[in-house]
Structure 1
């Protein structure tokens, strides 16, 4: 898009063309809402950056139209190994099964995620203006007035503004808002190298390895024969000098030699990182909404950064679309902060624990960490303490948007506020996963009172997915959704979270409960 094509007004302006901003645009388009993404850089990012994409994020990216591209390029993995010096102290596996739609985690460079979502955008509803940046943000009774600077000069756009412009958010700064929390001192050099390998795709971690004594080192295989290597710097090492190839190459070579990787290699990219546990206290300021790193900064350990940002986009897009289209009151947006701030606090708590183990902030933490690693050599019960606790969907406990739970249910997995469980079922066209039904409007999962085959049908406000016993051949749906009665209704939100459960099929009751929460179907 050229400067001459920039509109003076657009329903939603998204600042930041990274994975979160582009995904937000794609999801808004899926709900019929036009948006414009502006990105300061001329194209996709360089370097691997965020590399681990969770199962939940893969579902969201599928809603954005990137499922097949992600499947074709990413490297799935299910577990990892940790070593103390040169001895294994942990081999962990994430929950997974052959019938699941996606692996628990995949590795892929961030620039591929950006490219795949961008290429899938509906250009009638979502445009991207590269090499454009926000210069000013002003709010008045009519909304937000955003100053834009591009190659041909300045422009002004009126819109609802979604700030996805990263940890150094210009939008946040222009509004005088500040992140709150803790920043850790430990620094990591992150490096991409190209080298062929036959190793399986796993998360690999070393504590005090002989190749880099006193350091912690992480390795992840990436597509295109790329290793992502992160290693900790000592407190006395100069940050600028640490990024010089003359200092990086010997450390990488030493570790590759130690683990027996003998193929030739070359360095592609390097940067530096230190862990931060920071968040805004509110993700809404008038008609400005914050998502991803603009809203919160989460440590990389446990890979909650980009994954939490994609969850922000999934949560926000349908709510903002409903408000703009007159299908919900403005108060619905309060649930965005309520739910995603709760998720951030949980992610920060896990991230802080992982950071203090990976990069101990003082002598006491170092002493405790080393004691755990020594004990883990001989005591299996200690080993779970080393587990990095990978990213997982957050249950929105106590959300103002949670509906009722009427009747008796045998499982809490699908209680209101929980991410709707996956299940493999059968329909007239063969097997399908329930998560394939989510991502657009409200879905009613109808158990019991249906024909001989599962089918989906549209009723006002809902897409109904009929699930008679003949469709649930593996028994996954009834078990995971906790269905105890002959007939039951589970209503799932557009972002794949359970709204409410009824031990009877009563769409009018579900519609009334949604209306009470400001959602009109």
Structure 2
């Protein structure tokens, strides 16, 4: 049974998919009351978005949703590509034993939704089978008209976040349109249940004998499920292409070709075509956009859901500070600027991957076949057929970045970059530095005792004895394990500034001049 919908709420979230539910959990953890308005009656069906990046696992870890996800999901570190029946690529993603998470975890989207929902606690509530019908932005809030099982209701929200997907009602109500490119190539998506002993990898076949002229992708998922994506011809009717009598023979032909002979059953069938679209801005007064409501990114390179979770991680701490009166509303402009920048980078990579995986014309098809043919014998060509997997994007040029105070050993942890991971040894045993992020500001203190930092900034002292692998000082650009330095990390795990020495005044100045502190 749904709880009672309030008449007024600090934050309303339209859309109860993984992005909306994760945002609600993050806000709840920050002490901000919110409601999620979801038109469906329950979590999604079918696998949908299945590859969860290391960065997304960290974000889900901020609300305690990482443990069930890692426990259920299938971690993987690489993949294989085939041209016809010949393997032309075996790639490995950056990984090491000291990392907290695998580079990528395969898990069905409905599990992510469930774990994020469970992490919300009492600070938020989900209203299933409730649909946002009308949106009226005001100077100091947003008036919503909501269709509920009991009839029409009105809700006044101080802030509205649209996470209601690619067909966003909020976006339509506000007269906004996505801009960019939509590709014609279509992929049928199929979930089947079949036992297998194959390793968990991203598997791809180009022009396989089982389905000549097509491209096929396969991912193992929990519950003995295969996710299979295959391209259909341009002249095929999409409505006919998803009919079981047309799908199942293609699946059977491919399973037979690769030697998967166990009995199988279909679970879910859908169809997809790649889109590189975005809103020009993600904040319009008291309304913000996140996930597919803000941008549509091709599935190739798994940047769709992962970029949406990064939206939630960026927005949650900023919106929480604004709602509490700790920061001016202008802080939310940095959400829009930073995440639009990230989307443009994701779209650029996604477009390149799409043009290879689903060539839009004869010239691209010709170039792809040439690259695949050369890759059979030439290892130097193989990098051209390896799609760049989702990775955190540096917020280059953000107004929240504070310029470095001189030379540093590297730019891995330069302002605007995601704070690098490090495995540390403490009184309770080994722990990862990333566990300290996700709630408030953190100042890493190297080479001495913590100085008097501004209120609301937690000091984390890192000594040479703790940094047994040397990861923290090396990755943060220090010259040695005993060098004195301060590194200010934002609540979303991004470096805001770094300074040689232990003088706390630049930290306070940075928070004031960037407009983070009211």
Q: With structure 2 as the length reference, what TM-score do the two structures score?
A: 0.98
Alignment of 1:11-90 (within 5 A): 11-90=10-89
CA distance in 1, matches of 2:454, 2:173: 45
CA displacement at 1:428 relative to structure 2:
1.7
Deviations 1:238-258 (A, max 9, x none): 111111111111000000000
Residue 129 in structure 1 maps to residue 124 in structure 2:
no
Answer whether contact 1:450 1:468 (CA < 8 A) is retained: no
CA distance in 2, matches of 1:26, 1:403: 29
SS of match in other structure, 1:330: coil
SS of match in other structure, 1:220: strand
Could you say which residue in structure 2 is the equivalent of 1:505? 502
Answer whether contact 2:78 2:91 (CA < 8 A) is retained: yes
Could you say which residue in structure 1 is the equivalent of 2:511? 514
SS of match in other structure, 1:276: strand
CA distance in 2, matches of 1:498, 1:227: 39
Cα 1:450–1:471 shift into 2, 3 Å: farther
Residue 321 in structure 1 maps to residue 316 in structure 2:
no
Could you say which residue in structure 1 is the equivalent of 2:153? 155
Could you say which residue in structure 1 is the equivalent of 2:283? 284
SS of match in other structure, 1:246: helix
Alignment of 1:105-504 (within 5 A): 105-123=104-122, 125-159=123-157, 160-450=159-449, 460-484=455-479, 486-504=483-501
CA displacement at 1:515 relative to structure 2:
1.1
Cα 1:250–1:458 shift into 2, 3 Å: farther
Answer whether contact 1:50 1:109 (CA < 8 A) is retained: yes
CA displacement at 1:508 relative to structure 2:
2.9
CA displacement at 1:197 relative to structure 2:
0.1
Answer whether contact 1:457 1:463 (CA < 8 A) is retained: no
CA displacement at 1:427 relative to structure 2:
1.4
CA displacement at 1:511 relative to structure 2:
1.6
Q: Where does the alignment leave 5 or more consecutive residues of structure 1 unmatched?
A: none
CA displacement at 1:450 relative to structure 2:
3.5
CA distance in 2, matches of 1:234, 1:259: 22
Answer whether contact 1:76 1:103 (CA < 8 A) is retained: yes
SS of match in other structure, 2:372: helix
Answer whether contact 2:424 2:431 (CA < 8 A) is retained: yes
CA displacement at 1:142 relative to structure 2:
2.9
Q: Where does the alignment leave 5 or more consecutive residues of structure 2 unmatched?
A: none
Q: With structure 1 as the length reference, what TM-score do the two structures score?
A: 0.97
Answer whether contact 2:138 2:286 (CA < 8 A) is retained: no
Pairs aligned (count): 515
CA distance in 2, matches of 1:385, 1:315: 32
Please say which of residues 85-94 and 456-465 is displaced more in the overlay. 456-465
CA distance in 1, matches of 2:100, 2:91: 21
Structure 1 moving runs of 4+ over 6 Å: 456-459
SS of match in other structure, 1:415: coil
Answer whether contact 2:140 2:286 (CA < 8 A) is retained: no
CA displacement at 1:206 relative to structure 2:
0.4
CA displacement at 1:330 relative to structure 2:
1.0
Answer whether contact 1:457 1:465 (CA < 8 A) is retained: no
Please say which of residues 136-145 and 383-392 is displaced more in the overlay. 136-145
CA distance in 2, matches of 1:148, 1:244: 35
Answer whether contact 1:65 1:121 (CA < 8 A) is retained: no
CA distance in 1, matches of 2:31, 2:452: 20
Answer whether contact 1:57 1:307 (CA < 8 A) is retained: yes
CA displacement at 1:141 relative to structure 2:
2.6
SS of match in other structure, 1:422: coil
CA displacement at 1:406 relative to structure 2:
1.5
SS of match in other structure, 1:228: strand
Cα 1:252–1:457 shift into 2, 3 Å: farther
SS of match in other structure, 1:501: strand
SS of match in other structure, 1:176: coil
Answer whether contact 2:191 2:269 (CA < 8 A) is retained: yes
Answer whether contact 1:408 1:484 (CA < 8 A) is retained: no
Answer whether contact 1:137 1:171 (CA < 8 A) is retained: yes
Deviations 1:130-164 (A, max 9, x none): 10010000012331101111100111111110000
CA distance in 2, matches of 1:410, 1:158: 51
SS of match in other structure, 2:121: coil
